[in-house]
Amino acid sequence: MSTLLKLGIPAGSLREPTVDLFQRAGYRITASSRSYYPEIDDDEIECLMVRAQEMARYVEQGVLDAGITGHDWVRETGADVHEVCELIFSKVSRGPARWVLCVPNDAPVQSVADLEGKRIATEIVNITRAYLKRHGVNAQVEFSWGATEAKPPRLVDAIVELTETGSSIRANNLRIVDEILQSTPRIIANHAAMADPAKARKLDNIALMLRSCLAAEGRVGLMMNARRDDLDDILALLPALQKPTVSALSDDEWIAVHTIIEESVVRTLIPRLKDAGARGIVEYGINKIID
């Protein structure tokens, strides 16, 4: 059995943030815009660019050992795959994307029940049909090949579409009736790859490094010196992942304090630390956090 890990990189909107995340984790992926075979600076990995919508199927079939795709496409295809880990990132934000049921602003529809006998366009046909069945609604669900937001009201009565910010939905004079599914990217693998100790270990290592980069986002390190007499006041101001690190200096009256905090609080926290007696305050960036 080959120990080379065949890894699917998502094409489309997830491609750039995925490649960027790998680079921050220490893996350099390079590919031309027309190439489906990206190069990676790891001799134990072979990459293939695959549409996120097809990733789970190819992983399940063993064409790929593993890949990165959205939870929505695993659900839509019904693929029997192992989820290695969740990676909360996207093309726009660091939150989950949402599949939402939408209708024109002036439509009388107030709930999914009002779509009885109507026509709905979407990319996630199976998920939408299952949603309608749960609500006891009979409606025609058709696959949309694109430009889904432009179809109501002339071509369809409603759509189920993916959104992160809702801006495209509002721009097309649509409103959200209900949320059907939240989705985040996942590393998935087939069961044969997870049964191979070398491949399973490789995937665990990749997951560890990618998640460590996501954990570090929006956080910075702070280090400072303080007199021992001021330590309690300084520690009272410091939020931290666990507990600040306090270490001795050559001068017994002084100590060093190190901590990790949210970057958003730095601008208000540093003046308060200085007022409490902290000196030599240094803010520094962090690339990875591994618990």
If pLDDT is split at 50, 70 and 90, which confidence band does 31 have? confident
pLDDT tens, 124-148?
Answer: 999 999 999 999 999 999 999 989 9
Structural domains of the chain ordered from first start: 5-93+184-216 (3.40.190.10), 97-183 (3.40.190.10), 219-285 (3.30.70.120)
From CA 179, how far away is CA 200, in angstroms rounded?
Answer: 35
- Say whether pLDDT at 33 is over 90: no
Hey, how many other C-beta atoms are within 10 angstroms of the C-beta on 283?
A: 14
Residue linked to tokens 């990875």: 288
Distance CA(42)–CA(196), nearest Å, equals 19
Q: Which two tokens stand for residue 159?
A: 């759509």
Name, in order, each residue with C-beta under 8 angstroms of 141's C-beta and a sequence gap of 6 or more.
120, 121, 122, 125, 128, 129, 132
SS (H, E, C) 20-70: HHHHHCCCCEECCCCCCCCEECCCCEEEEEEEHHHHHHHHHHCCCCEEEEE
- What was the pLDDT predicted at 117? 97
211-229 pLDDT, tens digit per residue, is 999 999 999 999 999 999 9
Backbone φ and ψ of 214, nearest 5°: -65, -35
DSSP classification of residue 227: E
Position 47 confidence tier, pLDDT thresholds 50, 70, 90: very high
Statement: the pTM of the whole predicted model exceeds 0.75: yes
Which residues are CB-contacts of 164 (< 8 A; sequence separation ≥ 6)? 90, 91, 92, 93, 95, 97, 98
Tokens of 164: 């992160």
Mind giving me the DSSP string for 136-153?
T---EEEE--S-GGG-TT
